């Protein structure tokens, strides 16, 4: 029963923070499942990906209806990243078959630390106003045509 409550808390936290920050699976769910639920690293990674599918779909649909966010969502980069992410998923699952869970956990930790340090010390940059992909708002698209 306690284990199910931990999974529920992990899912809720991942849903809230994942939709707010664009994170969830790797950064929150994998460590929580490994350290609080005793799930080995490889199954935890697979479980987090399975949970991310409905979470990402829900968040994406809700963001499409948010007039503050939708103009910044660009279709071409989304499609490009999606296609390459699918290709990368095939490659990544194949590579992970040949690495131990301990090695994957160390790679994961290094990437998280490097990205956290970069994000912490990086200065905010003004958002670019290029229409790369066709989902820009009409006013933004007209501004780019000038």
pLDDT in tens, 96-115: 999 999 999 999 999 999 99
In this structure, the chain runs to a length of 146
Instruction: Output the pTM of the full model.
Output: 0.72
Is the pLDDT reported for residue 128 higher than 50?
Answer: yes
Give the 3-state secondary structure of 34-64: HHHCCCCHHHHHHHHHHHHHHHHHHHHHHHH
What confidence tier does 146 reach under pLDDT thresholds 50, 70, 90? very low
* Number of folded domains that form the chain: 1
- Mean pLDDT of all residues belonging to the chain: 84
Q: Are 41 and 107 in contact (CB under 8 A)?
A: no
User: Residue 146 falls within a domain, yes or no?
Assistant: no
User: Residue 125 falls within a domain, yes or no?
Assistant: no
The mean pLDDT value for 19-46 works out to 88
User: Residue 24 falls within a domain, yes or no?
Assistant: yes
Q: Are 78 and 136 in contact (CB under 8 A)?
A: no
Is the pLDDT reported for residue 126 higher than 70?
Answer: no
User: Residue 128 falls within a domain, yes or no?
Assistant: no
pLDDT of residue 130: 53
Instruction: Give the C-alpha separation, 38 to 94, whole Å.
Output: 24
User: Residue 26 falls within a domain, yes or no?
Assistant: yes
Instruction: Give the C-alpha separation, 25 to 50, whole Å.
Output: 9
User: Residue 121 falls within a domain, yes or no?
Assistant: no
Is the pLDDT reported for residue 142 higher than 70?
Answer: no
User: Residue 110 falls within a domain, yes or no?
Assistant: yes
User: Residue 138 falls within a domain, yes or no?
Assistant: no
**What's the domain range around 84?**
2-67+74-116
């Amino acid at each position: 029963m306690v284990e199910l409550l931990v999974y529920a808390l992990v899912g809720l936290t991942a849903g809230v923070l994942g939709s707010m920050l664009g994170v969830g699976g790797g950064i929150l769910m994998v460590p929580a499942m490994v350290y609080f639920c005793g799930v080995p690293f490889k199954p935890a990674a697979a479980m987090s990906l399975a949970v991310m599918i409905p979470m990402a779909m829900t968040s994406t649909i809700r963001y499409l209806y948010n007039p503050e966010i939708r103009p910044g969502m660009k279709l071409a980069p989304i499609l490009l990243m999606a296609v390459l992410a699918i290709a990368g998923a095939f490659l990544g699952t194949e590579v992970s078959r040949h690495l131990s869970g301990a090695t994957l956990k160390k790679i994961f930790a290094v990437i998280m630390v490097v990205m956290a340090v970069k994000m912490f010390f990086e200065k905010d940059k003004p958002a670019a106003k290029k229409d790369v992909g066709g989902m820009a708002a009409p006013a933004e698209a007209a501004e780019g045509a000038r």
